[in-house]
Amino acid sequence: MTPRRAFRLLGTLLLLAFIFCLVPPDGTGTGSGAALAQQSADAQTAATGIAAPKLTAEDYPTIAGVNARVVVWLAAQLHLWFAAFVLAVPIFVFIIEAIGMWSRDRRYDDMAYEFIKISIAAYSLTAVLGGLLVFSLIVFYPHLTQYLGAIFKETMFYYALLFFVESAALYLYYYGWHWLQGGFRKWVHLTIGLLLNAAGTTLMFLANGWLTFMMSPAGIDPSGAFTGDVWTALHNHLWNPINIHRMVANVAYGGSIVGAYAAFKFLSASGAKEKAHYDWMGYTANFIAICALLPLPFAGYYLAAEIYAYSQQMGITLMGGIFAWLFIIQAVLIGTLFLSANYYLWCGMARSEGAARYYPYIKYIAVVLIGAFLVWFTPHTLVLTNEELKALGGPYHKYLGPLGIMPAKNTAVNVMILFTALSFLLYRRANRVVTVPWEKAGNAVQVALFSAGIVNIFFLGIYHGYFTNTVYKVASSIPQVITTLVVIAVSILIDAMMYRGAKEVAPLRWGRVPDRAQYALFLLAVAFTWLMGLMGYIRSGIRQHWHVVGVFRDNSPDAFTPTLGYAANVVSVGTMIFMAMVIFVFWLSQISGVKREPDGYWKEQRA
Point out which span in 188-196, 295-303, 329-337, 460-468 binds other proteins (CB under 8 A): 329-337
Among 98, 99, 230, 316, binds other proteins (CB under 8 A): 316
Point out which span in 75-83, 302-310, 434-442, 567-575 binds other proteins (CB under 8 A): 567-575
- Min dist. Cβ of residue 386 to other proteins (A): 4
The set of residues, in sequence order, having a beta carbon less than 8 Å from that of 603 and lying 6+ positions away, is none
Task: Read off the DSSP letter of residue 502.
Answer: P
460 is a site residue for other proteins (CB under 8 A): no
Cα gap 143→137, rounded to integer Å: 9
- Min dist. Cβ of residue 572 to other proteins (A): 5
For the residues of 419-467, what is the DSSP string, one character each? HHHHHHHHHHHTTEE--STTHHHHHHHHHHHHHHHHHHHHHHHHHHHHS
Point out which span in 26-34, 377-385, 491-499, 500-508 binds other proteins (CB under 8 A): 377-385
Among 6, 405, 564, 585, binds other proteins (CB under 8 A): 564
Cα gap 346→172, rounded to integer Å: 39
Identity of the residue, 416 or 525, whose beta carbon is nearer to other proteins in the bound complex: 525
* CB-based burial label for 267 (10 Å; 0-12, 13-18, 19+): middle
93 neighbors 115 (Cβ within 8 angstroms): yes
530 is a site residue for other proteins (CB under 8 A): yes
- Min dist. Cβ of residue 88 to other proteins (A): 20
Point out which span in 74-82, 130-138, 441-449, 521-529 binds other proteins (CB under 8 A): 521-529
Maximal C-alpha separation, the chain: 92
Among 184, 360, 391, 595, binds other proteins (CB under 8 A): 391
Cα gap 141→157, rounded to integer Å: 21
- Residue 75 CA to chain centroid, in angstroms? 17
Q: Give, in order, the Cα–Cα distances in Å from 104 to each of 98, 192, 356.
A: 9, 19, 32
332 is a site residue for other proteins (CB under 8 A): yes
470 is a site residue for other proteins (CB under 8 A): no
Identity of the residue, 341 or 430, whose beta carbon is nearer to other proteins in the bound complex: 341
- Characterise 583 by phi-psi region: left (phi > 0), alpha (psi -120 to 50), beta (else): alpha
322 is a site residue for other proteins (CB under 8 A): yes
Point out which span in 27-35, 181-189, 190-198, 545-553 binds other proteins (CB under 8 A): 545-553
475 is a site residue for other proteins (CB under 8 A): no
469 is a site residue for other proteins (CB under 8 A): no
Point out which span in 153-161, 163-171, 326-334, 352-360 binds other proteins (CB under 8 A): 326-334
Identity of the residue, 17 or 314, whose beta carbon is nearer to other proteins in the bound complex: 314
Task: Read off the DSSP letter of residue 380.
Answer: P
Closest CA to 150 of 249, 1, 302, 42: 42
202 is a site residue for other proteins (CB under 8 A): no
**Rg of the Cα trace of the chain?**
26
419 neighbors 372 (Cβ within 8 angstroms): yes
- Kind of pairing, strands 432-433 and 503-504? antiparallel
579 is a site residue for other proteins (CB under 8 A): yes
387 is a site residue for other proteins (CB under 8 A): yes
321 is a site residue for other proteins (CB under 8 A): yes
Site string for other proteins, 52-81 (x = CB under 8 A): --x---------------------------
Identity of the residue, 72 or 567, whose beta carbon is nearer to other proteins in the bound complex: 567
Point out which span in 126-134, 224-232, 414-422, 546-554 binds other proteins (CB under 8 A): 546-554
The CA-CA-CA angle for residues 350, 354, 358, to 5°, reads 80
191 is a site residue for other proteins (CB under 8 A): no
237 is a site residue for other proteins (CB under 8 A): no
The CA-CA-CA angle for residues 359, 364, 367, to 5°, reads 130
555 is a site residue for other proteins (CB under 8 A): yes
The set of residues, in sequence order, having a beta carbon less than 8 Å from that of 216 and lying 6+ positions away, is 236, 237, 238, 310, 311, 549
For the residues of 297-321, what is the DSSP string, one character each? HHHHHHHHHHHHHH-HHHHHHHHST
Identity of the residue, 503 or 516, whose beta carbon is nearer to other proteins in the bound complex: 516
Task: Read off the DSSP letter of residue 532.
Answer: H
Identity of the residue, 106 or 398, whose beta carbon is nearer to other proteins in the bound complex: 398
Site string for other proteins, 151-180 (x = CB under 8 A): ------------------------------
Among 179, 386, 600, 606, binds other proteins (CB under 8 A): 386
Cα gap 357→121, rounded to integer Å: 44
468 is a site residue for other proteins (CB under 8 A): no
150 is a site residue for other proteins (CB under 8 A): no
Q: Give, in order, the Cα–Cα distances in Å from 459 to each of 103, 412, 508, 604.
A: 43, 12, 40, 81
Identity of the residue, 313 or 451, whose beta carbon is nearer to other proteins in the bound complex: 313
- Scan residues 93-122 and list those touching other proteins (CB under 8 A): none
Q: How many CB atoms lie within 10 A of CB 245?
A: 24
Cα gap 76→82, rounded to integer Å: 10
Among 64, 471, 594, 607, binds other proteins (CB under 8 A): 471
Identity of the residue, 380 or 432, whose beta carbon is nearer to other proteins in the bound complex: 380
Please provide residue 46's backbone torsions phi and psi, each rounded to the nearest 5 degrees.
-85, 125
Cα gap 304→241, rounded to integer Å: 9
308 is a site residue for other proteins (CB under 8 A): no
- Min dist. Cβ of residue 48 to other proteins (A): 19
435 is a site residue for other proteins (CB under 8 A): no
Summarize as ranges the residues that interact with other proteins (CB under 8 A): 54, 264, 267-268, 312-313, 316, 320-322, 325, 328-329, 332-333, 381-392, 394-395, 471, 519, 522-523, 526-527, 530, 544-545, 550, 553-555, 559-565, 567-569, 572, 575-576, 579
